[in-house]
Amino acid sequence: MTARTEAVFRAKGLTKTYRMGEVEVRALRGIDLDLGRGELVVLLGPSGSGKSTLLNILGGLDTPTSGEVRYLDHQLTGATESALTRFRREHVGFVFQFYNLIPSLTARENVAAVTEIAPSPMRPEEALGLVGLEARLDHFPAQLSGGEQQRVAIARAIAKNPAVLLCDEPTGALDSATGVVVLEALEKVNRELGTLTVLITHNVGIADMADRVIRLSDGQIAEIRSNPAKKPARSLAW
């Protein structure tokens, strides 16, 4: 395990069990993990291995069944509702696997809904420009293609200049050229602002731009691999 200078996230013994009547689904079964400042981490793993679950817990969107998570000096497990809200508002940018745009707001307004409550955001137009959507500012989600919706979701995440960016399959719906544009935007935010970035992907090629690659399998960490020969996003292709 590569010990980084300073851990931003420190997770210990995380488990998550979903109970549906008689059936129990153990999505996470004991995760220990440190994530350091400025790191770009790629999470790999087969479908259903618990990647989204882990990301959601890190971002304060969900609570683990047991174990604990710290963010810097904040204890996230057991934190109050309003503390979690403040944490998300001030520190975290999300890209959801299913985009989750607000259908009644345009692309620009979807971004604005986040920047309006963030302490030092970019302008919504600027964020949308970074993902190549300057021509689609006033389109509603229903008027955008799946990939365009995904890029709005990314713009929305980076627009607040967050300290942590959590992206669940940000390029899942994109062709490789557009995917590279998006990854470059994420890379730029990571490099210039030192944003800790966690990226879930099914695309092994993307792992080459990471500082570390973590592989989940059946709710457990199967492998953590450092990547000293990190490649720029521009050189990736799939």
Ligand X SMILES: Nc1ncnc2c1ncn2[C@@H]1O[C@H](COP(=O)(O)OP(=O)(O)OP(=O)(O)O)[C@@H](O)[C@H]1O
- Site of interaction with Mg ion (CB under 5 A): 52, 97
CA distance linking residue 178 with residue 159, whole number of Å = 19
Instruction: Tell whether residue 73 is a contact of other proteins (CB under 8 A).
Output: no
Instruction: Tell whether residue 114 is a contact of other proteins (CB under 8 A).
Output: yes
Amino acid at 237: A
Q: Which of Mg ion, other proteins, ligand X, none interacts with 121 (beta carbon under 5 to 8 A by kind)?
A: none
* Binds other proteins by CB under 8 A, chosen from 35, 51, 110, 128: 110
Q: What angle do CA 92, 56, 12 make, to 5 degrees?
A: 100
Instruction: Tell whether residue 33 is a contact of ligand X (CB under 6 A).
Output: no
The CB-side HSE value for 233 (13 A sphere, CA atoms) comes to 20
Instruction: Tell whether residue 217 is a contact of ligand X (CB under 6 A).
Output: no
Task: Give residues with Cβ within 8 angstroms of 97, minimum separation 6.
Answer: 52, 168, 169, 172, 200
Instruction: Tell whether residue 62 is a contact of other proteins (CB under 8 A).
Output: yes
Site string for ligand X, 44-83 (x = CB under 6 A): -x-xxxxxxx------------------------------
Contact region for other proteins (CB under 8 A) — 37-45, 55-63, 207-215, 230-238?
A: 55-63
> How many residues form the binding site for other proteins (CB under 8 A)?
37
Q: Which of Mg ion, other proteins, ligand X, none interacts with 27 (beta carbon under 5 to 8 A by kind)?
A: ligand X
Helix axis angle, 146-158 relative to 107-115, nearest 10°? 20
- CA 90 to each of CA 110, 189, 211: distance values in angstroms, whole numbers, following the listed order: 17, 16, 25
Q: Which of other proteins, ligand X, Mg ion, none interacts with 45 (beta carbon under 5 to 8 A by kind)?
A: ligand X
CA distance linking residue 100 with residue 102, whole number of Å = 7
Instruction: Tell whether residue 90 is a contact of other proteins (CB under 8 A).
Output: yes
Q: What angle do CA 111, 112, 116 make, to 5 degrees?
A: 130
Q: Around Cβ 173, how many Cβ atoms within 10 Å? A: 16
Query: Closest CB to ligand X among 53 and 171?
Result: 53
Which residues bind to other proteins, rule: CB under 8 A?
A: 20-21, 53, 56-57, 59, 61-63, 81-82, 85-90, 92, 94, 96, 98-100, 102, 104-105, 109-110, 112-114, 116-118, 142, 146, 156
